Amino acid sequence: MPTTIDLSVADLAAIRGVPHVDQYFGVWAMESMRFRGLAEHVNHLDLRGHIEARDGEVIEDAGTYRATEDGVAVVSIGGVMSKYGTSLTTSGSTIRARQAIRAAVADPDVRAIVIHIDSPGGMFAGTAELGVAVARASVAKPTVAYIEDLGASAAYWVASQAGKVYANRTASVGSIGTYCVVRDTSKAAEDAGVQIHVVKAGEFKGTGVPGVAVTDDTLAEVQRHVNDANAFFLEAVAEGRGMTAQQVEQLADGRVHTAADALALGLIDGVRSFDEILGALAPQTTRGAEMADNDNAPQAATLPELRAACPGADNDFLIAQLDGGATEVEASRAWMTEQNRRLEAAEVEKAEQAAKLAEAESQAAAADQHPGVDALGTENAGDAGGSAMSVSDRWEAAVEAYEARGLSAADAVAHAQADDPELHREYLREFNKSRGRICYV
């Protein structure tokens, strides 16, 4: 987003000769609020004075890792991520983080790797390569990403490539999406009496030059670039988290989520402390196995969390999960299983009722042979087909009634299910028969 950072002629003169200064002006994959803060900081910075004060200073080396006595290597990624490291962001480089990960993989004394992340994201350049390094490490050794407080945008991209992803309770996770800001300053140049001429060879050369009007074609080209960059991001998250492209697209709205919400959405695998992660890895790695899901498990879900994770569940089910200390993920899986069990039980009951009806009809047929005896079941024969509206039509009408009140589709379904659970079960049976499979809702 180079158009969000303003540099004067003096600033440009000051940075001439600074190694890798071009990285500031590339595409960024960073949580938007913190990026705006960084841009505001740069725009009000005495850049010449900053560079002179930092002249000769060595940026913190992030190319090493620290190892615990149990053979767990910890590679830290903190602050704004950049490819080569910058004095403005006081962070190490993604290149040196890759070097540290590769060194940990090659070290025979290292049995597992933890990528310790506290970052809003950063420069797009170098992020994909770091993600690949994490994914390859996960194949070689148990590799866990731990998000402490913040893992957004490019930082989450990297985290999603680990075998498991955990976060502390107060962490913010996500910010999946890509954006770019293009400012049209042509009116300001016109008001100042300045006319800008861009002499170019190539339709889109000179895009973003201050003072030049931004055309629809220009915006379309910028949008294409943003879409291409975002596609890499979404593809990496889908592969790393084992999601479909559609599932990731639904999550790619740029929002950050609390750890509990991120767990429910499948962005992370659990909510734990950093010490719990190290403690769970140490005994497992000595046996040469990956960290088990039930070791130092996340804290049990509260009743409101269980209700959110199990839409439509009755109180008896929720209380049983609460008494059993189930997490949100465990309860959600159990609710799916319970719905399937109830559906199968309803099918059995329906079959039994059909058998009883057939027997009654048989008895009625036999009774027809004797005068004065009415055939059984003929009185309500006109009602056998049920309501004039199909089950599907009645269910959809119930959902649409709630949507008309302004509820989202998901909330409308949950309310309709709570109002008439029998109608919901009938709808599921009809849906399953039409497709020859079991549907979990």
Asked if 271 and 259 touch (Cβ cutoff 8 Å), the reply is yes
Across the range 347-364, mean pLDDT stands at 79
Structure tokens at 272: 């734990």
Least confident of 169-183, 364-378, 393-407: 364-378
Rounded Cα–Cα distance for residues 355 and 348 (Å): 11
Domain with CATH 3.90.226.10 in the chain: 1-299
- Look-up of token digits 């769970």: 280
Residue of 253, 237, 181 whose CA lies nearest to 214: 181
- Give pLDDT tens digits for 123-154: 888 899 999 999 999 999 999 999 999 999 99
Query: DSSP secondary-structure letter at 24?
Result: G
Asked if the model's pLDDT at residue 45 lies above 60, the reply is no
- Give pLDDT tens digits for 58-117: 444 445 788 898 899 999 998 888 887 655 554 568 888 999 999 999 999 999 999 999
Rounded Cα–Cα distance for residues 204 and 218 (Å): 7
pLDDT number for residue 104: 94
- Give pLDDT tens digits for 198-224: 787 877 777 777 788 888 888 888 888
Rounded Cα–Cα distance for residues 219 and 200 (Å): 18
Structure tokens at 431: 């849906």
What value does the mean pLDDT of the chain take?
A: 76
Asked if the model's pLDDT at residue 260 lies above 90, the reply is yes
pLDDT number for residue 20: 47
Q: Which CATH class is domain 1-299?
A: alpha beta
Across the range 384-404, mean pLDDT stands at 73
Rounded Cα–Cα distance for residues 17 and 39 (Å): 21
pLDDT number for residue 205: 76
| pLDDT confidence band for 14 (50 / 70 / 90) | very low
Q: For residue 118, list its beta bridge partners.
A: 78
Cα radius of gyration rounded to whole Å, the chain: 30
pLDDT number for residue 2: 33
pLDDT number for residue 8: 44
